[in-house]
Structure 1
Amino acid sequence: MWKTFYIKPNEIGILYHRSDFKKILTAGTYTYFGRHWRVEKFDLNNPEAKIENLELLLRNNTAELQEYLLIVRTNFNETALVRMGQKWVNILPNQLRAFWRGFIEVESHIFNLEENLELPTQFVQQLRGFNFSGLTKIFVNESQIALLYVQNNFVRPLEPGEYAFWTAHKGITHYLMSRLDRNPNFPLEEVLIDKHPEFVATYCAIVETTAQQVANIRYQGKVISILPPTSRKLFWQGVDIEIIDISNDAKLSNALASELVSGLPETVSLSCNNLHVCQVPSQHVGLLYTNKEYQTQLEPGIHAWWVYGRSFETEVIDLRLQNMEVSGQDILSKDKVPLRLNLTAGFRIQDPLRAKNGLSDITGFLYKELQFALRAAVGEQALDRILEDKGAIDNSISQYIRPKAAEYGIEIDSVGVKDIILPGEIKNILGKVVEAEKSAQANVIRRREETAATRSMLNTARVMEDNPVALRLKELEVLERISEKIEKIQVNGSLDSILTELIQINRH
């Protein structure tokens, strides 16, 4: 029995008799006698040869197979890259792979992972656009530095550029860090400082503070970080470091306090947990207590202290004239009339330290004492006296409160009763009394005016009796008044006759 096999131009075949390898068949027609011949064909457009039992075939037929195949074998500490025309494949450790020669250009490159995990630069450039398992690519731009770690141990920094590392043999990690961030957070910072001084010296500035020091780190004149005592931190080179000794005086200079308290928002946010701040407005004074002990008075302005190792308390006291209202005080007068009074007082603090040391609550003290004084002044006088002379109440309260306030450094500027509110029935009674008084006064005035009018009329009559011309003028005045009320007057005879007749009518 004859068997014929046809191998196409883009194919290659492996001839077997039973299970034994015989030869490689290139393009063409082949005829063999016997029924146990068989051919395994491969498409050369796919250069990788997926041959069963490749390891077994290579034991006895290495020379013949290598004539047609590129054999790539990797050990436990090796990887490989194979280029097939324009394509690349990677081969991980402990693998055996085969690729057909001749039809498509094939080349391989073996890498010893014990010697170097980094892929050479020329391969990194050729592998752009390809992603392989077991290979990590790292791109570092011009504003960055990458920190390379192998098995979580720092190896070296990576300057801007393209890198690739094999990860099949050992774990590779990296941290991309911006050089533009002037307050960076380095991974495992203490390890870098202690174990890698060459990296620190080349790229970093190290800042350390003792138990009595604070550090301000600036870049281009702006504070970018504040380091508390007993701290250690890395920064990129190019920063300015200011070490401040706080062992004797923890107060900041005026310029630094203004910068950290009311400067740029990002600077203020840095200092919020590091400073105790007291802002004293004009016409105010501040009191400073350190570790619960009074220290000094603070003038108007911004004051700030480093909080480390001490406790600070400050209080701002207003030195301006202040008003206090004592409202809605229900008090019985001496004659048992219930009254509601509102009192106002003006005061200013002359000695802040004496006031704070002597009083826990300044306004509460004044309010209570003004209440006592108001009740005593009203309770000693009858209602009529109170209504007649409110100034007496003011004087009584003033004489009581001034010396008491002066004991604590407080000056009373003025005291006065604003309102006296009477019960409804008392208001009605007082209204009737006032009404009766005003009615009597009106009657007296009316009688006085009537007497004056009668006396005036009598004097007029006497003048007219002695002077006929005045009488005739008065007659004309009366006639004028009458004519104002009459639409039409018909005169017969002379004006004298009219006046004579009118006089006669009046007499009747």
Structure 2
Amino acid sequence: MFKKITIQADERGLLFRKGSYAKLLQPGTYRKSRFFEDTVVMLNISKPFSVPGKDLQLFLHDDQLVEELDVVQVPDHEYVLHYEDGKFVSLLMAGSHAFWNRLKKHTFLHVDIRNPELPAEIDRAVLAKLASTYQTFDVANHESGVLFYNHVKQKELGPGKYYFWRGPTAVTVKTVDLRQQQMDLTGQEMMTEDKVTLRLNFVCQYRILNPLRALEIKSFDEQMHIQLQLILREYVGTLKLDDLLKMKQEIAAYVLSRLNEKSQEYGVQFIAAGVKDIILPGDIKDILNTVLLAEKKAQANLITRREETASARSLMNTAKLMDENQTLYRLKELEFLEKICDKIGTISFNGGGNLLEQLNSLLGDKVTGKN
């Protein structure tokens, strides 16, 4: 006639009468008549409150039951972090959740995912259990980051690791390299004032100072490259080829000065610039080589004539001194005689006369082949 039901200390019973919830049954022993359409659902209070096939709202009118439950309502725009006795257990999504409060102490941290950044009070150690619900962005030590919510700029981010909820707000972080960078202009064809077409290799170093401004410029690198092209074309077009080849350093200084006039517009600091190579057409190279060869030959002829003139002037000065100074003349005779003696074994002189004249006569005979 009766059925015995025992409810343990870590259990609770839910009495249903004709399919509808009637009341909460505390631990103990109960007798149920077989003639009544009563059923008892046994629940373990160490687990979340859940009755298969029944909505939580069907039980919340029972004050006795509600007193033993911690009920959490999670709206669509929130996540709730659930802790038991101070330890993270689970992340609760939108909906109604209930937990027995007799064995464990439950605490809940509500976060509004419309503000995607993870609160500081969330211990980063628990994030491994939330892998599918958040995303990370890294900003390196040499970078600056800019945070966007739904493509709307929010703030600038310094170096570090940042965590954001996956939710209704789309989060992006764009980074800008703050290190010194190099812009190369390679093989750029330009025309000088005298209509010579040449190719120029140019290099420029710069550093970004205003990351926000750099991100506001569409195709930042391309626009910087075009600006450098325009400045170089403007300057090279005012110079003739000969002047251009002589003024490589002046070109770099002019371009750097003009670029720094645009520094605030681009949010950068231009540090250095320089011409790497000037590549001339083949026919122009041949002409320049011919000109260079002619210039070098002319210089060589000039040096030769200068040396000959200096030698003649030296001889003239020597002759003048000898004519004015008999002692110097006598020394020259002796020097002359010494040179002759180096080549001739014996010399005989007959009669008197000037020694230098006789020696000159002797040398003259030797040169002409007379004995």
2:338 matches 1:472 = no
Give, in angstroms, the shift of residue 228 of structure 1. Answer: 6.2
What is the 5 A alignment of 1:354-433? 354-357=213-216, 359-394=217-252, 397-398=255-256, 400-433=258-291
Compute the RMSD of aligned alpha carbons: 4.4
Q: Decide which of 289, 304, 308 is 1:446's aligned counterpart.
A: 304
| Per-residue CA distance 1:85-130 (angstroms, 9 max, x = gap) | xxxxxxxxxxxxxxxxxxxxxxxxxxxxxxxxxxxxxxxxxxxxxx
Q: TM-score when scaled to structure 1?
A: 0.47
| Equivalent residue pairs, number | 287
2:93 matches 1:229 = yes
Give, in angstroms, the shift of residue 421 of structure 1. Answer: 0.7
| Per-residue CA distance 1:245-290 (angstroms, 9 max, x = gap) | 34575434679787589xxxxx4xx565433322222342110111
2:212 matches 1:353 = yes
Give, in angstroms, the shift of residue 427 of structure 1. Answer: 0.5
Partner of 2:183 in structure 1? 324
Look up the equivalent residue of 1:210 and give its one-letter code: V
2:111 matches 1:245 = yes
2:203 matches 1:344 = yes
CA distance in structure 2 between the aligned counterparts of 1:347 and 1:279, rounded to whole angstroms: 24
Cα pair distance change 1:507/1:411, threshold 3 Å: same
Look up the equivalent residue of 1:423 and give its one-letter code: P
CA distance in structure 1 between the aligned counterparts of 2:108 and 2:338, rounded to whole angstroms: 113
Structure 2 unaligned regions, length at least 5: 1-40, 49-69, 349-354, 366-371
CA distance in structure 2 between the aligned counterparts of 1:198 and 1:368, rounded to whole angstroms: 72
Cα pair distance change 1:241/1:445, threshold 3 Å: farther
What is the 5 A alignment of 1:51-450? 196-198=43-45, 200=47, 210-211=74-75, 212-215=78-81, 227=91, 229-230=93-94, 243=109, 245-246=111-112, 249-252=115-118, 267=128, 273-357=132-216, 359-394=217-252, 397-398=255-256, 400-450=258-308
CA distance in structure 1 between the aligned counterparts of 2:339 and 2:166, rounded to whole angstroms: 102
CA distance in structure 2 between the aligned counterparts of 1:430 and 1:219, rounded to whole angstroms: 89
Look up the equivalent residue of 2:154 and give its one-letter code: Q
Give, in angstroms, the shift of residue 436 of structure 1. Answer: 1.1
Query: Secondary structure in 1 aligned to 2:74?
Result: coil
The higher radius of gyration belongs to: 1
CA distance in structure 2 between the aligned counterparts of 1:371 and 1:325, rounded to whole angstroms: 10
| Per-residue CA distance 1:135-164 (angstroms, 9 max, x = gap) | xxxxxxxxxxxxxxxxxxxxxxxxxxxxxx
Give, in angstroms, the shift of residue 372 of structure 1. Answer: 2.1
Q: Is residue 331–residue 339 contact of structure 1 (8 Å, CA) maintained in 2?
A: yes
Q: Identity rate of aligned residues, in percent?
A: 30
Query: Secondary structure in 1 aligned to 2:239?
Result: coil
CA distance in structure 2 between the aligned counterparts of 1:209 and 1:460, rounded to whole angstroms: 122
Q: Which region of structure 1 is more displaced relative to structure 2, 461-470 or 373-382?
A: 461-470
Q: Decide which of 354, 364, 367 is 1:507's aligned counterpart.
A: 364
Q: Is residue 113–residue 167 contact of structure 2 (8 Å, CA) maintained in 1?
A: no
Query: Secondary structure in 1 aligned to 2:154?
Result: strand
Look up the equivalent residue of 2:274 and give its one-letter code: G
| Per-residue CA distance 1:177-221 (angstroms, 9 max, x = gap) | xxxxxxxxxxxxxxxxx96324638xxxx9989352353879999
Cα pair distance change 1:419/1:492, threshold 3 Å: closer
CA distance in structure 2 between the aligned counterparts of 1:216 and 1:472, rounded to whole angstroms: 123
Look up the equivalent residue of 2:159 and give its one-letter code: P
Higher relative contact order (CA 8 A, sep 6+): 2
Give, in angstroms, the shift of residue 505 of structure 1. Answer: 4.7
Look up the equivalent residue of 1:507 and give its one-letter code: G
Give, in angstroms, the shift of residue 432 of structure 1. Answer: 0.9
Query: Secondary structure in 2 aligned to 1:196?
Result: strand
| Per-residue CA distance 1:48-74 (angstroms, 9 max, x = gap) | xxxxxxxxxxxxxxxxxxxxxxxxxxx
Give, in angstroms, the shift of residue 459 of structure 1. Answer: 4.1
CA distance in structure 2 between the aligned counterparts of 1:227 and 1:505, rounded to whole angstroms: 127
Structure 1 unaligned regions, length at least 5: 1-193, 262-266, 483-488
Q: Is residue 366–residue 405 contact of structure 1 (8 Å, CA) maintained in 2?
A: no
Give, in angstroms, the shift of residue 334 of structure 1. Answer: 2.4
Look up the equivalent residue of 2:327 and give its one-letter code: D
| Per-residue CA distance 1:409-437 (angstroms, 9 max, x = gap) | 23333333322110000011011111111
Look up the equivalent residue of 1:506 and give its one-letter code: L
